[in-house]
Every structure is written in C-alpha cells, then in structure tokens.
Amino acid sequence: MSLQTYPSRRVRRLSVVVSALLAVLLVVSFIASGSIKGGASSNPQLWSVSGSNYESVIALPDQGGMIIGTKDNKITRLDASGKTVWTLPTTGTPKGIDLSPDGKQLTAVTESRELLILDTESGKQAGSFKISYPGIAVNWGGAGIAISQGAGTNQRVGLFDLSGKKLWENKLFIITRTLAFAADGQTLFAGNDSSQISAFDASGKRLWLREGSYPIYSLAINGEQLVYADKGGYVGAIGAAGKLLWSNKLAAAISSVTAINEELFAAVNGNKLFLVNEAGKLAGSIQLKSSFMRLSSEPSGERLAVVGTQAAYLDAGLLASFQKNEKLAANLQIIAIIIAVLLVAALIAMAAAFSAKVRTRASSLGKRIWRGKIAYLLLLPTISSLALFNYYPTLSAFFHSFTNWKPGLPLKFVGWSNYKQVFHSHFFWTGIENLIALLVTGVIKLGAPLLVAVIIFHLPSERMKYWFRTLFVAPIVVPGIVITLVWSFFYDPNYGLLNSTLRELGLDNWTHTWLGEPGIAMKSIIFIGFPWIAPFAFLVFYGGLIGIPGDIYEAAKLEGIGRINRFLKLELPLLVGQIRLLLVLTFIGTMQDFALIYLTTQGGPLDSTYVPALELYYSASKFGDYGYASAIGVVLFGVILVGTIFQMRLRSSVEYS
C-alpha cells in the first residue's frame, strides 16, 4: 500500500462511517419527534354523553365526574365513567352552577328567578330562595354566593348569604355573564357585555374597573392571576389593580376558559380546545369531536368537563403533558435540522473523497467562494429567508401529504391514501374541468391587451400614446378584491346593474341569478373583468413592441406590407418571448388562484364553480385535514412544474442586437 493512497482510503472510510451515523441519527430524531407529537396529541376524551343542549357545567374534585345544567330544565350529576348519579328537575334552565368552597354543596341560578342549594352527593335540595330577575351567573366564595341577574336594562350583581339575605348589590345596565371569586374568597370579579371587568370587595365597593375591546364571556382564577376570555377571541391575564399582564388572540370568539394548573389554561371555541401557558403563549390546540361552549377543570387539574351539544370528560393530565411534549418535539426537530446540515456536509466530503476530479472542483469552488465571502455573507439573510419561508413549507407539504395530519390527532403515516382520495374525489375532478375552462379562456383573454397594445403603439401622436397608455394602466392601482366585489354587485339578482338594465329594457325573461345558477355561474365568473385588458399584460406587450428595431418597420414599409400582414408576419413572431412569459404566468396564476371564486360563489352553487385550489383551502381551513390538503398541494405543484417546463421548452424568442 502506497503512502499516497492510504490517507485517501482512510478519509473515504471515515466519511462513509460519519455519513451513515448522521443518517441514522437523523432518522431517529425525526421518528422520536413524530412519536412525541403523536403521543402529545392523543385523544384526551375519556367519554362523552349526547342529549339535550347543555347550558352549564362544573367539574367535581377527586375525579368525581361533573354536574351539568341543561336547557330542558334539569340538573344532572354524571360520575367519572359518564353514568347518571342523580337528576333534579328545575322550573327553569340552570344558567349557572358552582360548588361551595368545600365541594360538598352546589348552587344554581335559573331563568325562573330562583337560586338552589343542593347536596353534591345525593342531589337533594338543601335550600333555595327567590331572586328579583332571571339568573345569569353564579359563583360561591368565602364571602357568600355572588349572583348576576337581570332582564333588559335592569341588571344586578350582588352577594347573598345561604338564607337569601342580600349582603350588597350593584345596579347595572349591562349583562354580566361571568363571575369569579379571587383565591381569598372575598374579592369578586365580574365581566360584562360592555367589555368591562370589575373587582368588588366583600362590601360591594368597586376596587377597580378595566375597559376592554370585546364582551367578556368567561373568567377563571389561577393564583394571583385573573384570566378572561372574550367575544373577540382573546384570552388574557390581569394582575393586581387591573393591570393587563398578557393577551393572545386564539380564534373568532372564546366562549369559556379555565385553569388546568398554574402553568396551563384551557379555552374552548366550538370543536377546538386551545392550551395557553402562563405567559400567554399558545401551547397547542386539539380538535374535539363535537362543539362545546363551557368547560370546567377540577381543582387537582386531572380532569376537564366540557359541555355543548354533548357533555364530555377529558384527561387534563394528558393535556398538561401536551405542552412539555411539544417543547421536546420542537427541540428534537431543531436537532434533526442540525444533523441534516451536517449530513449534507458529510456527503459532500464523501463525494470529494471518492473523486479526485470532484476534489479539484470542490477546491476551486471553495477558493472562489472564499474570494467572494463578503457577497455570500450579505446574501445569507436572503438565502435563509427563502429556505425558511419557501423551501421548508414545500418540503413539509411533501412529507405531510403521506400522513393523516389533523390537529389533535396522532400523526400517522398513511402512504398513498391521501393521493388516492384526491384522484377519487368528485370535487377534484369537477375542479379540474372548471380549471381547464379558466385556463383556455385565460389564454384567449390575452388577445385583448395584445390588440390594444398594437393599436396604441401605432398611433400617430406621441401625446395620444401617452394618454392612452395612462388610461389603460391606471386600473392597476385598484386592488383585485375591489374589482371582484364590484362585479359581484353587478351580478346581484335583485339590485345589480345587469338585471336592472334588462328589466328596464323589458327583458325580464333574460334576468338570472347569475352567480347562483349552476348552468351559468362559471360563465359569469369567466366574464368578470370584461373587456379583459389587463394592465400588466398590456405593459409587457407594449414593451415588446418598443423593443422591435425601427429599421424592420422601415423595411416592411418599403415592401408594402399591410397592417394585418405586418401584425401577423412581423410583430407577432417577434413577440413570442412576451407571449411565452404571459402564458407561463397565466398558467401558474390560474392553477393557484381561488380568491375570485371564493369571493363570488365559494365554489357553488352545488359544486359548479369548484377548483382544486379552493378544495385545498377548504380541506385545511374548514375541515382541518392538512394531510389531504398537502396532497392536493403536491399534485398542483407537479402539474404547475410540468406545465411550466413544457412551456419554457418552446422555441426561444428571436433576439436582435
């Protein structure tokens, strides 16, 4: 063995070993991250019970189940397995329920102006008293029972003892939907529809008032923090003297919030459960099987009771672990990315070790990069942004298209299942048919700006050229959404300009619901933008005409070529480059765009205006099926890539020096 070859072989062996080791570590880290995420997003629902629409709920301590109030005028206790322990009929809907500080008794206010006190174990009535107005909310603290009641502008928040004696009462004009006693059981917090949160002491004196932006739907106590949820979809925390500690918008509206433990809160909006940490950051979200409006956590934080169209019991301990597992999974993903970078470097080193030619080229490339190190350093932020915001989402879509990615469910590899679903979907193929119609008409529409560009280019006066160019380019400043909405009003069946004009002309039989009839909805969408003189296409064609040398026109004039032949035999062939560019952009834009259809018909009537991009949007935003949406995205990506390459390989445009 020569001294020259020995180091080369050693480098080769070392590079192979290092690459293999990094590849194994990369696979292990991704599998571990996926497993942790899957475990964290396991279904936390222990059981659910269908029945009447539920109005109120309180979770019992020591995993004792829950007590619920229903709209059919009942209070029912369910044990930890979902079985009914007792049911008490009431004379009105129990609008609010709460436990005594020791958990042995229950209080409820009803729409029939009554407060009930019940034994938690047996459901037997231990007391009751009448209140002045229909009950809205109730909370039981050390100072007594706080009640919100009212009708119309006669709204009250007050404190009562167990006999019904009024300790204090404040007259308000706004509905107070939620009450919560502080940890000391003396200070009462109240949230109302006027976006206000107030604090009252044991005598009813207002300590502070905080103005918000949206009606307050729910309050919860966690140590020294008061957590709120409002109609605007915000969850926030308030500290001493009403100071806002943090706020985070989670959804369109948050109907209820509760503290699982000192580090984690749960908030609900329909069938989505949000987890928020003590700093107000979103720790995760879980898709529930039904729509829920109220939730309550037991004191230990082990179980969570939620009600809406169903009553469900959740494993709050599993929810609490979700946050920790998410952090661990995120750290593992970072490690995996670092390993992937090292693996790429190792593979490059291995390739260099196995080929002298590669080593020579790599050395030359390295020297060139080093000479231009400042330029590459300045390009690094751009390259990093492209990698993070363009290439990473694309690669993520490829990966998730082979999974059942849905929020709140374990991530599982499903192979080609999503792609089979795509190609067997009626909506997808209907969308393809509509897409072909849009592509064909989109190409035809390019004729309008081409014709206008040629006409303006050959105007005899430069002043006329300037003003006509300005006239046709000016609409580019109008946002596309505004144009779409104007056309929607134009097509309005009752007050739209089109039908109104037809009625004035006595052509009532010609009027239609232009965007509401399956037979003509797609045709109406295609007609939007008439006469289809797109400013961008006009400028591209006009610029191409300017680029044609003047001596060619002089030669054509000497040959006696007419205007039509000049356009067909001279100008059109010399605009092939511009035409090809606009064909590519039209193809890509039509494949990707769904805003026009979403703003006009949302894919209807029936499915007559569906396109694949709209199906992708609905799958992700409405149905939460991100795996299927990723598969649609990959299919569209493939079609766009193939179509673009095909068009780019058409013959090159003629260039003139």
Concatenate the DSSP letters of all residues of 280-349 into one string.
S-EEEEEEEEEEEEEEEE-TTSSEEEEEESEEEEEEHHHHHHHHHHHHHHHHHHHHHHHHHHHHHHHHHH
- Sorted by where each begins, the domain ranges of the chain are 45-327, 433-648
CB 253 within 8 A of CB 233: yes
Q: What is the pTM of this model?
A: 0.50
CB 59 within 8 A of CB 66: yes
pLDDT at 364 over 80: no
- What is the tens place of the pLDDT at every residue in 24-40? 666 665 555 554 454 44
Average pLDDT, the chain: 84
Note the pLDDT of residue 656.
Answer: 43
655 pLDDT tier (thresholds 50, 70, 90) = very low
Note the pLDDT of residue 14.
Answer: 64
Coil, strand or helix at 77: strand
And the tokens for 574?
């010399």
* E strand spans, 494-633: none
Q: Does residue 605 have a cis bond before it (omega within 30 degrees)? A: yes
129 pLDDT tier (thresholds 50, 70, 90) = very high
CB 106 within 8 A of CB 97: yes
217, containing H or E segment = strand 216-222
pLDDT at 3 over 80: no
Can you tell me which residue has the tokens 């409405």?
Answer: 622
Note the pLDDT of residue 31.
Answer: 54
Note the pLDDT of residue 336.
Answer: 65
Note the pLDDT of residue 252.
Answer: 76
Instruction: Note the CATH number of domain 45-327.
Output: 2.130.10.10
Q: Using CA atoms, how far apart are residues 85 and 71, in angstroms rounded to an integer?
A: 19
Note the pLDDT of residue 347.
Answer: 67
- What is the tens place of the pLDDT at every residue in 514-537? 988 888 999 999 999 888 899 999
Residue 10: which residues within 8 A CB-CB, separation 6 or more? none
The percent of the chain in helix, strand and coil, each rounded to the nearest 5, is 45, 25, 30
- What is the tens place of the pLDDT at every residue in 176-196? 999 999 988 899 999 999 899
- Which residues on neighbouring strands pair with residue 117, listed in sequence order? 107, 127
Note the pLDDT of residue 2.
Answer: 43
- What is the tens place of the pLDDT at every residue in 246-297? 888 887 789 999 988 877 788 888 888 888 888 888 777 777 777 888 999 9
Eight-state DSSP code of residue 568: I
Percentage above 90 pLDDT, the chain: 35
And the tokens for 83?
């079985």
Q: Using CA atoms, how far apart are residues 611 and 624, in angstroms rounded to an integer?
A: 19
229 pLDDT tier (thresholds 50, 70, 90) = very high
pLDDT at 216 over 70: yes
Note the pLDDT of residue 380.
Answer: 87
Residue 621: which residues within 8 A CB-CB, separation 6 or more? none
CB 69 within 8 A of CB 95: yes
pLDDT at 151 over 90: no
- What is the tens place of the pLDDT at every residue in 49-108? 887 578 899 999 988 899 999 988 999 999 988 899 999 999 889 999 999 999 999 999
Give the N- to C-terminal CA distance of the chain in Å, as an integer.
60
Note the pLDDT of residue 136.
Answer: 94
pLDDT at 10 over 80: no
And the tokens for 151?
């009708």
pLDDT at 486 over 50: yes
Other Cβ atoms within 10 Å of 116 Cβ, number: 22
**Mean pLDDT, residues 222-244:** 89
The structural architecture, per CATH, of the domain 433-648 is Orthogonal Bundle (1.10)
CA atoms within 13 A on the CB side of 552: 14
Note the pLDDT of residue 320.
Answer: 55
pLDDT at 636 over 80: yes
Residue 592: which residues within 8 A CB-CB, separation 6 or more? 613, 636, 640
Note the pLDDT of residue 314.
Answer: 87
**Mean pLDDT, residues 423-438:** 90
Identical fold for domains 45-327 and 433-648, yes or no, is no
pLDDT at 306 over 60: yes
Q: Using CA atoms, how far apart are residues 449 and 533, in angstroms rounded to an integer?
A: 5
Note the pLDDT of residue 41.
Answer: 47
Residue 597 or 554, more confident: 597
Note the pLDDT of residue 565.
Answer: 87
Residue 105 or 375, more confident: 105
Note the pLDDT of residue 40.
Answer: 45
Eight-state DSSP code of residue 389: I
